[in-house]
């Protein structure tokens, strides 16, 4: 009977270990990590999140350019008279939002220094970063995001404040801007895909060289018209794959940003749950698919 109980407890222990590892948390890990170490890990993944957000804004600019270029090219080939209109490399509004994200990345760096036991007196630097973010949202005239981040002002005036509370307000403000933009991106990406399909479909057969088409169409089809249509379908599929990957990426970033906010909310508690915070941090890592974070020093 004792042996049976022993094996049952052993199986339960193994099962519990598997569950924790599935969440990215190993047995005993949360017990050995101090609050400062957990905050440092969260800051590291927060900076990675900012990098992904920055890349998304830049990638959207590329997607817009590719769509406009393809439409102009189709117009030239179909002799519709369409001409390419020169555009800025990065529009002024996007440039301001990129500046906001770089400020957030700097703020996370200062947050990490606050968490490091070897650095003291860093609250003033973190507060200055927060104030710069407030001013950046003022410059953007984003009143909804501004309403969130301005809440830090009453806290950072004191000599000692809860940095996780301040970071939480900053995270909420960023979420307002990001979620609004992502909703618009989904609409514009879908609209651009329809426009791309129409542009490709409008190119006449006589705009293609049949011999060159054979280098790109590997399926066993004959006849120039068939080769042209298959080539167009391949172009459309390639475009769809690019746009679909972009939409998945920005949705993952949206979820990762939510996890960051939830982790910061948990850290604000006097008796926070280490496993909860680590679970959110590890989920961010999985969503952003950065394997290098598995090897960070504790």
Contacts for 164 with CB less than 8 Å, ≥ 6 apart: 39, 264, 267, 268
Examine the pLDDT at 295 and tell me if it is beyond 70: no
Average pLDDT, the chain: 84
The highest-confidence range among 25-34, 43-52, 204-213, by mean pLDDT, is 43-52
DSSP letters, 221-256, are --SHHHHHHHHHHHHHHHHHHHHHHHHHHHHHHHHH
Instruction: Please state, in angstroms and rounded to a whole number, the distance separating the CA atoms of residues 221 and 269.
Output: 66
Per-residue pLDDT averaged across 29-48, rounded?
Answer: 87
In a domain, 234, yes or no: yes
* Pairwise pLDDT comparison (169 vs 220), residue with the higher score: 169
In a domain, 18, yes or no: no
* Pairwise pLDDT comparison (266 vs 295), residue with the higher score: 266
Instruction: Please state, in angstroms and rounded to a whole number, the distance separating the CA atoms of residues 179 and 75.
Output: 35
In this structure, how many other beta carbons lie within 10 angstroms of the beta carbon of residue 134? Answer: 22
Per-residue pLDDT averaged across 28-41, rounded?
Answer: 80
In a domain, 146, yes or no: yes
- Domain span at residue 130 reads 31-292
* Pairwise pLDDT comparison (169 vs 114), residue with the higher score: 169
pLDDT digits (tens, 9 = 90+) for 123-177: 888 999 999 999 999 999 999 999 999 999 999 888 788 999 999 999 999 999 9
In a domain, 102, yes or no: yes
In a domain, 155, yes or no: yes
In a domain, 23, yes or no: no
Total tally of structural domains belonging to the chain: 1
Instruction: Please state, in angstroms and rounded to a whole number, the distance separating the CA atoms of residues 97 and 107.
Output: 15
């Amino acid at each position: 009977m004792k042996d049976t109980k022993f094996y049952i407890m052993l199986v339960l222990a193994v099962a519990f270990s598997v569950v924790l590892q599935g969440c990215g948390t190993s047995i005993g890990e949360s017990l050995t990590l101090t609050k400062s170490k957990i905050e440092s890990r969260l800051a590291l993944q927060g900076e990675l999140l900012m990098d992904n957000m920055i890349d998304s804004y830049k990638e959207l600019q590329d997607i817009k350019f590719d769509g406009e270029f393809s439409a102009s090219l189709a117009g030239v080939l179909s002799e519709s008279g369409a001409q390419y209109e020169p555009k800025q490399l990065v529009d002024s509004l996007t440039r301001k939002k990129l500046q906001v994200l770089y400020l957030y990345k700097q703020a996370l760096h200062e947050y990490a220094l606050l968490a490091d036991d070897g650095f003291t007196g860093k609250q003033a630097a973190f507060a200055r970063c927060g104030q710069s973010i407030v001013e950046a949202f003022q410059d953007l005239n984003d009143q909804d995001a501004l309403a969130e981040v301005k809440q830090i002002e009453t806290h950072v005036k004191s000599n000692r404040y809860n940095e996780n509370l301040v970071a939480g307000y900053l995270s909420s403000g960023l979420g307002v801007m990001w979620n609004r933009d992502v909703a618009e991106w989904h609409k514009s990406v879908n609209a651009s895909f329809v426009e791309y399909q129409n542009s490709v479909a409008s190119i006449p057969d006589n705009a293609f060289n049949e011999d060159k088409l054979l280098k790109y169409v590997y399926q066993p089809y004959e006849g120039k018209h068939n080769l042209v249509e298959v080539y167009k379908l391949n172009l459309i599929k390639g475009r769809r794959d690019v746009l679909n990957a972009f939409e998945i990426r920005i949705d993952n970033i949206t979820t990762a940003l939510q996890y960051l906010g939830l982790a910061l909310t948990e850290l604000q508690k006097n008796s926070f749950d280490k496993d909860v915070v680590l679970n959110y941090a590890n989920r961010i890592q999985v969503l952003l698919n950065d394997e290098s974070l598995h090897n960070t020093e504790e």
